[in-house]
Amino acid sequence: METNTSQMIILNGSNYHLWKTRMEDLLYVNGFHQPIICSEKPEGMTEEEWNLLHRRVCGYIRHWVDENVSTHVSREINARTVWSILEQLYAGNTCHSKLFLIKRLMSLRYTRTISTFLVLRKARKSYLPP
C-alpha cells in the first residue's frame, strides 16, 4: 500500500495533538509502530534489525518536525526516547496547546446530514488528548 503523506503536518510545538494523531497513523501504515509501542525487541528479529528499525523510525519522525523542535531530538537513536521527549515537551497543558485545541474545536461545523454524536466523536478522536 502506498502512503499518502500530503496531509501530514510539521510539528511546530503548538500543534502537537493533531500532529501526534496523524503521525501515529503514518507509523502504523508504514509498519514503523513497533519501536514506539514495544519496549523489548520482538522475537524473530535480530538486534541489528531492531536497531536499524529504531534509526529508521527516528529519521521518519524527525522528517515531520520543525527545525526548532528537531534540536531536542536530533541526537537520539531510540524511537521510544524520541517519542517520549516530544510527548514531555508538547503534550502538557501549555497555553499554546490549549489555544490550538480551542481553535480546532471552534472550527467544527454541524450539518444536518451528520449526527451530533459523530461530530463530537470526531472532535474527541482528532483534537483531544487521550
**pLDDT tens per residue across span 29-48:** 999 999 999 889 999 999 99
In a domain, residue 27? The reply is yes
In a domain, residue 95? The reply is yes
In a domain, residue 5? The reply is no
Residue given cell 459523530 in the structure block: 118
Q: Does residue 28 surpass a pLDDT of 80?
A: yes
In a domain, residue 60? The reply is yes
Distances in Å between the Cα of 10 and the Cα atoms of 47, 68, 118 are 31, 11, 27
Number of domains in the chain: 1
Q: Does residue 5 surpass a pLDDT of 70?
A: no
Instruction: Identify the pLDDT of residue 86.
Output: 94
In a domain, residue 45? The reply is yes
Distances in Å between the Cα of 48 and the Cα atoms of 4, 45, 77, 81 are 29, 8, 13, 18
Distances in Å between the Cα of 8 and the Cα atoms of 4, 66, 127 are 9, 13, 15
Q: Burial of 90 by CB count in 10 Å (0-12 exposed, 13-18 middle, 19+ buried)?
A: buried
In a domain, residue 28? The reply is yes
In a domain, residue 9? The reply is no
The boundaries of the domain holding residue 56 are 16-127
More confident position, 63 or 2? 63
In a domain, residue 4? The reply is no
Instruction: Identify the pLDDT of residue 93.
Output: 60
Q: Note the pLDDT tens digit of each residue in 84-120.
A: 999 988 887 666 666 766 777 777 666 666 677 776 7
Q: Note the pLDDT tens digit of each residue in 7-17.
A: 899 998 888 88
Q: Does residue 4 surpass a pLDDT of 70?
A: no
Q: For residue 130, name the pLDDT band (cuts at 50, 70, 90).
A: very low
pTM confidence score: 0.67
User: Around Cβ 29, how many Cβ atoms within 10 Å?
Assistant: 14
